Structure formats: C-alpha cells, structure tokens
C-alpha cells in the first residue's frame, strides 16, 4: 500500500461522501486506501458509508476524542507507506495523492508536505503558516501581519512559486501528507490537544528529526473552510486557547500570557471586524 488516506468525521457525512467521490474519481497511478474515523457523531448517517463505498475502512469511535486522537486511531488501521490526513471538508481537483507520493519518494529529507488550498470559488486561501506560534508572530497579528506581508508578499500563506518550497512554519492540517514511519517515530499526534495546533506540535517534533516541511504549489485542493466545524466562536476560542497554552508549555515559548490575550483579541474582535467590513461591501453591491 502506497498511501493511507485518513478522514475524521463529526456530523459531516455529506461532506465525507463528496470528498471520497473526488478521491476515487481523480486518483491514478498509486495504490491507496481510505480510512474514515467517526468521532461518535450524534448524526449516525455515517454508518451507511459502506453501502456506497464498500472498500472504505469505517472506524466508529466510542467517544469524541478530538481530531488528533481520531487520526491516531485511523493510523492503527493504516497499511500505507505514507499517511494523508485529509479534512472532511475538502475536495480534490487533480491527482493530488499521486503528486504528493511521487514528491516524497524523490525527496528523502521531506517529512511532511501539503498543497495550495482554494475556496469553493477556487480563490487562494490559507494553506500554510510561515512561522510557528510565538510572541512576535502574535503581535504581528494585531497589525494584520504587516511584517509578514512585507517579507513574503502574496506568498505569505499561499505559494505562487512553481517549485516546491520549504517552510519553517507548518502545513495546515486540512491536507497533511506525512511518512508513516516518521509519524510513528514521534508517536503521532499528541492526544492532549483536543483540536487546533496538533499539526503544529507534530511538525515541531518531526523537524527535531531533521525532516523538512514542503509546500507543493502544483497541488491544489478545495477547502470548504469551516465546513467541518460548527462555527461556534466561543468553543473555538476555548479550544484554541487551551491548545496554544499546551503548545507553549511543551516548547518552552516565552510570553504565553500575553499571547493568549492577543489571540483572544484576534479571534473575537478582528474576526468580527472583518465580518463587519465584508457586510458593508455586500450592502454596497446591493
């Protein structure tokens, strides 16, 4: 088996079906399997998955153990040389799995790779972050990341370069392609992270083994951002704050108290400001 595609589901059955359809339709020249882990969804419609896709391995978790823990569970059933952690709210639009596989086979120092993510309108969206969480990055957020914009321009969170690039930050967890032996060598996702920053922590540990993270600009995947979440800002804030605090503690980062305050401002107030500006633009169009 070349690649094990692992998808975590929580009340997103329709999205899972659509995602799997694109995988089967577009994946060529690589041997792959699909594993779906249901995190004890209240909506039990996922149980009819094998009626439509009989070859998919469906794992029914007995509790909602979080994103990282569910992916770890999926890995226990995976037989691929590589693991492709794919969000349920994604759609392939090309032979992405083969492109990732081929790149990793030719690039021995690559531990992780990901592609460019697009909105449903096929517009560029957040595909990676240039830096891991730190106090300077959080301060930059308050100024709408002006320093990163100056340094990286339009390549700040989406890669326009034709050649793959190494990034010091991390690949967004929506499309996270990793070597299985490396993943297991660092003991997988830290299950203390319920949601958010689990891929950052994993990347941090993989880089300690001197592997690198690459972005492949030729691989483009639609990310229906937020489709796999409830959109509850309050819960998002709690999860993000808790996970960020754990990440800082594990990596001995400086300034956690200040960063938590800044992140709260960013999530609650800046997001509301951006929504307000967006509504004004829509009103003007009307």
Give pLDDT tens digits for 190-228: 999 999 999 999 999 999 999 999 999 999 999 997 655
- Residue 284 has a pLDDT of 46
In a domain, 254, yes or no: no
Show the domain range for 109.
3-231
- Residue 286 has a pLDDT of 42
* 263 in Cβ contact with 244 (< 8 Å): yes
- Residue 143 has a pLDDT of 75
In a domain, 100, yes or no: yes
Structurally, the chain folds into a number of domains equal to 1
In a domain, 246, yes or no: no
- Residue 235 has a pLDDT of 73
- Residue 261 has a pLDDT of 66
In a domain, 150, yes or no: yes
Residues of the chain with pLDDT under 70: 226-234, 254-286
In a domain, 144, yes or no: yes
- Residue 257 has a pLDDT of 64
In a domain, 182, yes or no: yes
In a domain, 222, yes or no: yes
CATH number for the domain spanning 110: value is: 3.90.550.10
Nearest to 92 by CA among 161, 169, 5: 5
In a domain, 219, yes or no: yes
């Amino acid at each position: 088996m070349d690649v094990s595609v692992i998808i975590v589901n929580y009340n997103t059955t329709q999205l899972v079906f659509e995602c799997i359809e694109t995988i089967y339709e577009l994946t060529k020249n690589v041997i792959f399997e699909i594993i779906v882990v249901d995190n004890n969804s209240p909506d039990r419609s996922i149980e009819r998955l094998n009626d439509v896709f009989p070859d998919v391995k469906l794992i029914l978790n007995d509790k909602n153990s979080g994103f990282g823990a569910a992916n770890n569970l999926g890995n226990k059933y995976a037989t691929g040389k590589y693991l492709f952690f794919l969000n349920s709210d994604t759609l392939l639009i090309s032979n992405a799995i083969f492109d990732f596989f081929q790149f990793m086979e030719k690039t021995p120092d690559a531990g992780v790779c990901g592609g460019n993510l697009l909105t449903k309108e096929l517009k560029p969206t957040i595909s990676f972050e240039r830096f891991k969480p730190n106090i300077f990055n959080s301060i930059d957020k308050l100024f709408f990341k002006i320093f990163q914009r100056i340094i990286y321009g339009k390549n700040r969170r989406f890669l326009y370069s034709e050649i793959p690039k190494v990034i010091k930050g991390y690949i967004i967890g929506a499309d996270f392609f990793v070597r299985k032996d490396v993943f297991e060598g660092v003991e997988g996702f830290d299950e203390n992270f319920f949601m958010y920053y689990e891929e950052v922590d994993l990347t941090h540990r993989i880089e300690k083994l001197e592997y690198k993270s690459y972005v492949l600009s030729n691989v483009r995947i639609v990310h229906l951002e937020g489709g796999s979440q409830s959109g509850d800002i309050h819960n998002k804030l709690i999860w993000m704050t808790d996970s960020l605090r754990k990440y800082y503690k594990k990596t001995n980062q400086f300034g956690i108290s200040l960063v938590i305050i800044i992140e709260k401002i960013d999530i609650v107030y800046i997001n509301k400001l951006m929504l307000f500006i967006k509504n004004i633009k829509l009103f003007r169009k009307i």
